[in-house]
Amino acid sequence: MAIHPHQLRQLREIFIGYVSQFLRAIPRTPTLEVVIEPLIRRGEERERALLRASHFLHRLRIPNHLWALPPATFSGGEQQRVNLARGFAAGHPILLLDEPTASLDKANRDTVVELIQESRAVGTAIIEICHDEEVRSATATRSLDLASRAISDMEYHS
């Protein structure tokens, strides 16, 4: 049974969250709006979305005075933390993380590790691309080393 592309897109928005290592936000959109957008799109009440967003922005150490500013004006680490707040606040059952701790200091890396562990504990399926061995060791339940896999594949095809 085939699914219409529009339905597939809706299913992805409901079930799959994605945190890139680069924040892609609509210019001039305040940080708080960036974080609540996926929740609102999924039908969450605005007040509940704001509470969830506030919780994750606090956890990820984004000061309140920055919430009204567009994240495009922030440092790379601050943008990454906004991106993470957006991804974790949405509460998707599947979360794809691309280098979630890139550009972060140790304290913020540790917070992200905690968020990943907490999300896994409540049943979130997480697929993470991570070059940081310490983070990978703390968060992965299974691991696939693509560098050695690529070598094996090249040898196989030779």
Range of 51's domain? 5-157
> What CATH code is carried by the domain that includes residue 132?
3.40.50.300
Count of structural domains, the chain: 1
- Long-range interactions of 144-152: CB distance < 8 A, separation 24+: none
| Residue 16 burial (10 A CB sphere; 0-12, 13-18, 19+) | middle
Nearest 5°: the CA angle 70, 72, 76 is: 125
Q: How far apart are the C-alpha atoms of 158 and 151, rounded to whole Å?
A: 11
pLDDT digits (tens, 9 = 90+) for 77-126: 999 999 999 999 999 999 999 999 988 999 999 999 999 999 999 999 99
pLDDT digits (tens, 9 = 90+) for 6-56: 888 888 888 999 999 888 878 899 999 999 999 998 899 999 999 999 999
Q: How far apart are the C-alpha atoms of 65 and 59, rounded to whole Å?
A: 15
- pLDDT at residue 8, as a whole number: 86
pLDDT above 50: residue 135: yes
Q: pTM for this one?
A: 0.87
pLDDT above 60: residue 157: no
